[in-house]
């Protein structure tokens, strides 16, 4: 997922959520941190995001356990990656005031997103902004997919096929 600093109120809210996430991680409240950041992500629909915190914590505990079992070689567990979220957000914050720079990108760009009902609101707004700014862009909404779809437990083959086709054929509208 890649975000751009598009709308100040939403980014301020997201920054506050990430600060709370970091605080909870530092206090050893990993499951609470996962629940809170997930609910703050801004998914427009979805039963999962409306579950009670206690149920979400159980689900996340299972996810972390299963993920740890899958870690092999140089792989990194979700739990080990969690403290790095603040660095992702730092990069997003560095795009504030720089949106117009994207008008000068000369490369052909493929934007992929999951269904609007399954994708983060900030991500959808970032993609919509890039779609308007980039001079050579193709945006594909992949129905039924979401933020986790590129993961091994998701549907990475669908995404890989779209990327391969884009590389092989270039922009379809040119």
Whether residue 13 has pLDDT greater than 80: yes
Q: What is the DSSP letter of 43?
A: -
135: tokens are 């001079």
Residue 174 has pLDDT above 50, yes or no: no
Q: What DSSP state is assigned to residue 114?
A: E
The distance in angstroms from the start CA to the end CA of the chain is 26
Q: Which residue has the tokens 């934007």?
A: 111
pTM here is: 0.71
Query: Contact 14/122 with Cβ under 8 angstroms?
Result: yes
**Of residues 42 and 170, which shows the higher confidence score?**
170
Q: What is the pLDDT of residues 134-162, one digit of tens each?
A: 999 998 888 877 766 666 666 788 889 99
Q: What's the pLDDT at 42?
A: 58
**Which has the higher per-residue pLDDT, 5 or 56?**
56
């Amino acid at each position: 997922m890649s975000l751009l600093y598009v709308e100040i109120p939403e980014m301020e809210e997201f920054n506050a959520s990430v600060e709370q996430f970091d605080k909870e991680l530092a206090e050893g409240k990993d499951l609470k941190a996962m629940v809170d950041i997930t609910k703050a992500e801004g998914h427009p629909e979805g039963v999962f995001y409306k579950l009670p915190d206690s149920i979400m914590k159980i689900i996340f505990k299972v996810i972390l356990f299963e993920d740890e079992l899958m870690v092999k070689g140089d792989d990194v567990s979700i739990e080990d990656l969690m403290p790095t979220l603040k660095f992702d957000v730092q990069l997003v914050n560095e795009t504030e005031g720089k949106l117009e720079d994207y008008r000068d990108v000369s490369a052909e760009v493929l934007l992929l997103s999951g269904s609007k009902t399954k994708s983060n609101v900030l991500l959808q707004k970032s993609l919509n902004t890039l779609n308007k700014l980039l001079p050579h862009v193709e945006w594909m909404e992949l129905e039924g997919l979401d933020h986790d779809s590129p993961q091994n437990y998701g549907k990475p083959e669908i995404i890989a096929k779209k990327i391969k086709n884009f590389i092989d054929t270039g922009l379809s509208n040119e």
